[in-house]
Structure 1
Amino acid sequence: MSSCGHVDTLVSAPRGPFFGPLAHGFACGAHIPIHSAQAWNALIDPAAACQETRDSLQDSWGISTADEWREHVDRLLAGEDDGQDTDLLLQLRRDVIARAGRCDLPAWRAAIRQWGQWRSAAPEVVDGFTVSAGVIIRYEARFRADGLLPPDGMVSSVRGYDYGRAVNMARWGFGGRFCDYRAAESTVLRAGELVRQRYTSWADYGGGYALGRVLRFDNEEYGHTYQSVLGPNRMLLTEQASPWLHIPFS
C-alpha cells in the first residue's frame, strides 16, 4: 500500500485535523502516507481512488470484502497480527533491567533460557528467541546510530507496528468503501488510544513501529524496507511541520 519508489514527503490535508484525539490517531499512522506522498491526516477519498484502493488491499492484504477488512482491523487493534513473540522477549529484558538495573545480551539470553525452562518450551523455540535477541540488539544499535532512537534508547514494544497499520487500514477501508466514515474514524481513535497506553512518547512509539516493520521484512539487509521506515521516522521527529512536533503525545 505504498509507492514503489522512495518518496518521503510530508503532506497535510488543509481540511484534516491538526490537533486533538483524531489528529493524534492519524499521526500514529503517518509513516505510510509520508512514504507514499499522501496526506497523513486524511482518509482515502473513495470517489477518487475506490478501485485502486480495493486492488491494493487485495494484493497486499488479501482483503476483498467488508468482513475481511473488519477482521484485519480487529486483529491489528488487538496487537495479534505481528510481534507477539518479540514483545515477550522485550518484556523479559525489562524484567532483567528492573532487577539488575541493566541488561546486556548475555543476561538477556540467560533470562530467555530460564523462561524456556520455566515454560518447558521446546529447545528450538528457545534457540529462536536467543537468535532474535541478537537481531533486536543490532537493530537498536543501528537505530541509535541513525537517530531513530536516542543514544541510550531501547524499544519497549513492537505492538505499535500493528496500531500504526490499523490507522492506515482505516484510511484504506474508507477509500475502498469497505466501511463508513464513522467506523474509520473510530478505528483511528482507538489506535491512537492504544499507542498512548503502550508508549511514553512519539520517539518511543516510532522505535517500536520501526522495529516491528524491519523484523518482519528487512532480514538485517538495511535496504529499501529499512529506509522506508527510517526516512518517514526522521521527518516525523525533525520536520518543522511534523504532527509529532505539534500534537502532544499524551
Structure 2
Amino acid sequence: MVVCDHVEGVVSSPAGPHFGPLAHGFACGAHIPVHVSSPWNMLDDPVRDYRADRESLAESWGVTTAEGWQQQVDYLLQGLNVGTEIDAVLNVRRQLVRQHGVWDLPTWRTAAENWARWQEVADVEEMVASVDVITRYEARFQADGILAPNGIVSSVFGYDFGRAVNMARWGFGGRFCDQRTAESVVVRAGELCRQHYTSWPDFSAGYALGRVIRFDNETFGHMYLSVRGPHNLLMTDRSSPWWHIPFA
C-alpha cells in the first residue's frame, strides 16, 4: 500500500467565522478537516451528517450518547486522552532551558530519570526512553519542515485540544449537543492552545508530536504523513487561517 500525505487545499465555508475567538478555535482543529478537504471553520450539519457522525464517533471513540460525548470532551480539554507523561518529560526539558538557557540529551535523560524517581513513576525506564523517542521525532520534524532547524516541541497537549475542536464538530453533527455548547468547546480549546503555545508553528509541532507518540510507534507511516501534509499546507497556503488569524 502506498501512503501519501497529499491534500488538495484549505477549504473554508463563507458562512463560517474567519476572525475572532471562534475562528481561532476552529483553526486549532484545522489539521483533520484539511486532511479530508472539509471546511475548517464550521460544525458538521446535524441534518446531513447525523448518521455518519454517530457511526464514526461510535467506531473511533466508543461514543454513543450525549454523556459519553461530554466525557470525551472533558478528557480532551484536560489533556488526558494523549496523557500527561510525555508532557511531563517535555516539561523537564523546559525547566532545563529556563534554568540554563540550553539543554543536551544526556542531561535531559538524567533529569527525566531523577524527576520520574522523585514522582515515583511506575516505569522509570519507559519515561527515560521517551526522551530518545521524542528526539528522533524532532529530528524528522526538522528534516521535513515541521520544526525549524534545532527547534523543539514545547508540549503535546495541543493534540488533545485540536481533537476537542473536532469532537465539538462531530458532536453537533451527531446531535449530541447544541450549537452553543459545541462552539463553547471550540473557543475553550483555542484558549488552552494559547496558554501552552506561542505561535501556529509551535502549536502544530506539538499537535504532530502528540499524534505520532500516540499512534505512530516510529513507523513514520499514515499517522505521521496525515499530519505532515496538513501542517505543510496550513503553513504555506495563503488561504489558510494560520495566515490571517493571529495566534496570540
Bin of the TM-score, shorter chain as denominator length:
over 0.9
Tell me the residue number matched to 1:118. Answer: 118
Aligned residues of 2:76 and 2:164 also touching (Cα < 8 A): yes
Q: Secondary structure at the match of 1:48?
A: coil
Shift of 1:7: 5.3
CA–CA separation in structure 2 for the residues paired with 1:202 and 1:218:
22
Residues 149 and 203 in structure 1, CA contact (< 8 A), matched pair in contact too: yes
Specify whether residues 64 and 5 from structure 1 end up closer, same or farther in structure 2 by C-alpha distance, changes over 3 A only.
Answer: farther
Identity of aligned residues (%): 57
Contact 1:7 1:36 in 2 (8 A): no
Any idea what SS the aligned residue of 1:209 has? helix
Alignment partner of 2:139 out of 124, 138, 141: 141
Measured in 2, the distance between the counterparts of 1:53 and 1:120 equals 41
1:35 is displaced (CA, Å) by 0.7
For residue 19 of structure 2, give the secondary structure of its aligned residue in structure 1.
coil
CA contact (8 A) 1:83 1:212 kept: no
Instruction: Please tell me whether the aligned partners of residues 170 and 184 of structure 1 are also in contact (alpha carbons under 8 angstroms).
Output: yes
TM-score, structure 1 length as denominator? Answer: 0.95
Q: Which amino acid aligns with 1:208?
A: G
* C-alpha contact 1:236 1:244 (8 A) present in aligned 2: yes
The one of 175, 196, 199 equivalent to 1:198 is: 196
Report if aligned partners of 2:5, 2:228 keep a CA contact under 8 Å in 1.
no
Take 1:135 and 1:39, find their aligned partners in 2: how far apart are those partners? 33
Q: Which runs of 5+ in 1 are unaligned?
A: none
Residue of structure 2 in register with 1:81 after alignment = 81
Aligned letter for 1:142?
A: R
1:130 shift after superposition: 1.3
Q: Is the 2:116–2:127 Cα contact (8 Å) retained in structure 1?
A: no
Per mean C-alpha deviation after superposition, the further-off stretch among 127-136 and 74-83 is: 74-83
Q: Compute the TM-score of the two structures, normalised by the length of structure 2.
A: 0.95
Per the alignment, in what secondary structure is the counterpart of residue 47 of structure 2? helix
Alpha-carbon separation, structure 2, partners of 1:141 and 1:6: 19
Deviations 1:153-202 (A, max 9, x none): 11000000010000000000000000000000100000001101111000
- Provide the residue aligned with 1:207 in structure 2: 205
The corresponding residue for 2:13 is 13
Task: Measure the CA separation in 1 of the matches of 2:218 and 2:167.
Answer: 27
Q: What is the distance in 1 between the residues matched to 2:245 and 2:117?
A: 45
Give the number of equivalent residue pairs: 245
SS in 1 for 2:177: coil
Please tell me whether the aligned partners of residues 166 and 187 of structure 1 are also in contact (alpha carbons under 8 angstroms).
yes
1:154 to 2:152 alignment: yes
Deviation at 1:100, TM superposition (A): 2.4
Q: What is the CA-CA distance between 1:67 and the residue it aligns to? A: 0.5
Are the counterparts in 1 of residues 57 and 170 from structure 2 also a CA contact under 8 Å?
yes
The Cα of 1:5 is off from its aligned counterpart by 7.7
Distance 1:99 1:217, change over 3 A: same
Greater shift, 6-15 or 32-41, is seen at 6-15
Deviation at 1:33, TM superposition (A): 0.4
